[in-house]
Structure 1
Amino acid sequence: MSATADRAAAEQVIAAARNFARERIDPEAAGWERDRRLPREVITAAAAEGLCGLLVPVELGGAGLGVSDVAEVMGALAYADMALAFSLVSHNNLAGAIAKKGADHHRSQHLGAMLDGSTLGAFLLTEPGTGSDAAAITTSAMANGDRWILNGEKAWVTNATEAGLLSVYAQTEPGSGSKGIAAFLVRADQPGVIRENAYDMLGAHASGTGGFRFDHVELDASQLFVPPGLAFRAAMEAIDIARIVVSAMCAGMLRRGLETAVDYIKNRQAFGAPLSERQGLQWMLADVATDLEASIALTRAASAALDAGDPSMGVRAAHAKKFATRVTMDGLSQCMQALGANGFRQDWPLARHLACAKMAQYLDGTTEIQNVVIARSLFAS
């Protein structure tokens, strides 16, 4: 396929995402939050639009997009609802990893169901007692002949309520740190896999976030996905992608907030004059617009670096996520203020977006972890 055809195909997927956000997500997102559920049927509908194999190569049935285009897709979806968009991020990251890092039997066994949306994927790294210290995981996978025995607990799992395929990171050699970590593909219906209740959160319930426990789960050799020595690096690569995409989703939410506030002010009057003529409101939203443009620029720079294999991409991803999450929290609050008391009502999308913006500050490394990454680059010898 020529470069022109590749670009045209990518633009078609991005356009499909915008249309899907407008027609299927936006009208229903408030209801999902009210009902506190991940809408499984919408994942299947997204798959029919080609949105479940974004990182899977074309020859394997996916869209074959780079991270820059995936970020555009997810930003378009998050404009309507970041929680549902992040569900698709987690699913797409796993599908892409299976396509590119998995063995032939992994691809033949799992990819078809992931592409058509009949199986939802989840990434299980974080644990209740470790938080951001991913290398300190205690979930164990002990070799037992030609099998593995999996025990432990995972927390803050996106798609936990509905996932059928789990990418589980476990320690195979206690005391070895990141070198002993391996990844396994575990079916959620295997004996000993215990799905916990969904978390009761401030918002973002359409992400289906919850946890899993593993009680003496027997895995056969074919379920080893990424071996020790390679898995931790693979997890960090996935997190870099997710940080960039989270930045893009924050920009999508901030754009929605800004457009909502501007449209509202254009059609309101106070004290005998249009609100749009009040310089205080104009300048407040002008600052939001500047932060939005800066956030988009940082996100695009990070995604371009990742697509090009630039070694600076990890630091660029940290800058983008740190900045985008911060200005989105602040900017959405300002946009809500511009709507007056109406900004506090759930029938406007801004309160729902504000909760997701706060969640974004924790996803794939907190703001403080981004500072660790950035500071290391500043003081590296």
Structure 2
Amino acid sequence: MSEIPLFALPEEHEAIREACAAVCRDKVAPHAAEADRLSEFPQASYDALRAADFHAPHVPEAYDGAGADALATAIVIEEVARVCASSSLIPAVNKLGSMPLILAGTEELKQQYLVPLARGEAMFSYCLSEPEAGSDAASMKTRAVRSGDSWVLNGVKRWITNAGVSEFYTVFAVTDPEAGARGISAFVVEKSDAGVSFGAPEKKLGIKGSPTCEVYLDNVTIPASRLIGNEGEGFKLALRTLDHTRVTIAAQALGIAQGALDHAVAYVRERKQFGQAVADFQGIQFMVADMGMKLEAARQLTYAAAARSERGDSDLTFFGAAAKCFASDVAMEVTTDAVQLLGGYGYVNDYPLERMMRDAKITQIYEGTNQIQRMVMGRKLLQG
């Protein structure tokens, strides 16, 4: 019989993990608690990621980017989230915001916006949700009306990650009100465009170091060249984008869970009760075993989805939804158990576990709730 090779990451991916982990340990982790406590964007962490080319690793080399593939990008996000979930939204949302350009933008648009993104001169956000259009994104009300060689946009976008910090925004708007989902188009809007403004930052349960605001578009006039892809194909583009970027949320969930498990294991090995280490109790060992087992299963599913994202496989929609759903459910379970393992110390902010538990919750909600992910998976399975 021929030898069956064991699954292992390629050496270059392991090298990326080690390099990113070192940057995160030394220059991101020290700012995580303060970013959460002050609800402030972790500029120092961004500067460190930018200096190491981990702020937008997905941008192709043709646009001055690092050219990291989908798996390498997921590993970067995982390692950043392991120490600071808020900071992991820097590479994650830069990919989310710019993915429509990568998928469907003209060469002119790519040169204009991907190059400054790759150089760390700007960040990119994604504007799909609205006050009355969350899971039902196709019911959006934001309008874009053609006016000569320009488009004029009006509307409100809600739950926009890194709004106000990002310079560039992919905005989805209705261009044909009679065509339903087929009447939605995508555009690039700049923070400096006249008529663009932002609401007050939301007061959130977690990821407090990543600002979340409404984006207001008041007669924002942009050149017609900023249309991404073809008119009327914006909603299809939004869904194609999410197929790829749900993998990044799975990676974020992995990182949060791994960070929580790291801290919990270290604690139970050192903490002594009844004359022995807490780790010596079988009940504790069973908890740790379940945490590690589920986390590794989530990692394998996420990496499999990332590989499909890189290849553009036909089953990416299922795998992207499955990875995001499973990994985020695991992250919520693992962080909750990690808090339990620390007892009273898990409940106070002297330790990072309570922050990780709060941060984990959003991974079950954004980029499509896990109920939506199950609908996506169910439909794909029933379609055969």
Structure 1: distance between partners of 2:203 and 2:304: 35
Aligned twin of 2:325: 322
Q: Secondary structure at the match of 2:58?
A: coil
Letter of the 2:49 counterpart: A
Is contact 2:176-2:232 (8 Å) kept? no
**Structure 1 residues 97 and 51: alpha-carbon distance in aligned structure 2, compared to 1, 3 A threshold:** farther
Compared CA separation, residues 210 and 189, structure 1 to 2 (3 A): same
Give the Å deviation of 1:122: 0.6
- Listed as ranges, the matches of 1:1-381 within 5 Å are 10-99=13-102, 101-380=104-383
**Which residue does the alignment assign to 2:3?**
none
Unaligned runs of 5+ in 1: 1-6
Q: One-letter code of the match for 1:166?
A: Y
- The whole-number CA distance in structure 2 between the counterparts of 1:236 and 1:8 is 32
Deviation at 1:103, TM superposition (A): 2.2
Structure 2 unaligned regions, length at least 5? 1-9
Structure 2 SS opposite 1:185: strand
| Matches of 1:125 and 1:368, distance apart in 2 | 18
Conserved? CA contact 2:164–2:191, under 8 Å:
no
Instruction: Note closer, same or farther for the CA distance 1:96–1:65 as it changes in structure 2 (3 Å cut).
Output: farther
User: Displacement of 1:73 after TM fit?
Assistant: 1.0
Deviation, structure 1 residue 253: 1.4
8 Å contact 1:53–1:61 — kept in the other structure? no
Tell me how far apart the structure 2 counterparts of residues 12 and 327 of structure 1 sit (CA, whole Å): 26
SS of the equivalent of 1:150 reads strand
2-structure distance, mates of 1:336, 1:300: 27
* Contact 2:152 2:219 (C-alpha < 8 Å) held by counterparts: yes
Moved more, 355-364 or 303-312: 303-312
Q: Deviations over 1:258-296 (max 9, x none)?
A: 121111111111122221211111111111111111111
Q: How far apart, CA to CA, are the structure 2 residues paired with 1:348 and 1:133?
A: 38
Residues of 2 paired with 1:68 and 1:9: CA distance?
Answer: 11
User: What secondary structure does 1:207 align onto?
Assistant: coil
How many residues were matched structurally?
375
State the 1:96 CA deviation. Answer: 4.9
Q: Is the 8 Å Cα contact of residues 57 and 118 (structure 2) preserved in structure 1?
A: no
User: 1:193 Cα shift?
Assistant: 0.8
Contact map agreement 2:250 2:324 (CA 8 A) in 1: yes
CA contact (8 A) 1:305 1:312 kept: yes
The one-letter code matched in structure 1 to 2:204 is M
Tell me the secondary structure at the aligned position of residue 300 of structure 1.
Answer: helix
Tell me which residue corresponds to 1:4. none
Distance 1:104 1:40 in 2: 31
> Normalising to structure 2: TM-score of the pair?
0.93
- C-alpha separation in 1, matches of 2:142 and 2:81: 32
Letter in 2 for 1:110: Y
Distance across 1 between alignment mates of 2:221 and 2:63 = 30
Structure 1 runs of 4+ aligned residues shifted over 4 Å read 7-12
C-alpha displacement at 1:98, in angstroms? Answer: 3.3
Change (3 A) 1:62 1:130: same
Looking at structure 1, the residues matched to 315 and 101 of structure 2 have their Cα atoms a distance apart, in angstroms, of 25
Q: 1:269 to 1:10 in 2, by over 3 A?
A: closer
Is the CA contact 1:138–1:170 (under 8 Å) kept in the aligned structure 2?
yes
CA distance in 2 between counterparts of 1:232 and 1:275 reads: 52
Q: Which amino acid aligns with 1:236?
A: L
Higher mean C-alpha deviation, range 68-77 or range 98-107: 98-107
- Give the Cα separation in 1 of the matches to 2:132 and 2:240: 23
- Equivalence for 2:4: none
Offset, 1:378:
2.7
Q: Normalized against structure 1, the TM-score is what?
A: 0.93
Measured in 2, the distance between the counterparts of 1:164 and 1:306 equals 26
Q: For 2:355 and 2:339, how far apart are their aligned partners in 1?
A: 11
Shift of residue 100 of structure 1?
5.2
Quote the offset at 1:208 in angstroms. Answer: 1.3
Please state how far the C-alpha of 1:320 moved relative to its aligned partner. Answer: 1.4
User: Secondary structure in 1 aligned to 2:354?
Assistant: helix
3-state SS of 1:151 partner: strand
Q: Secondary structure at the residue paired with 2:92?
A: helix
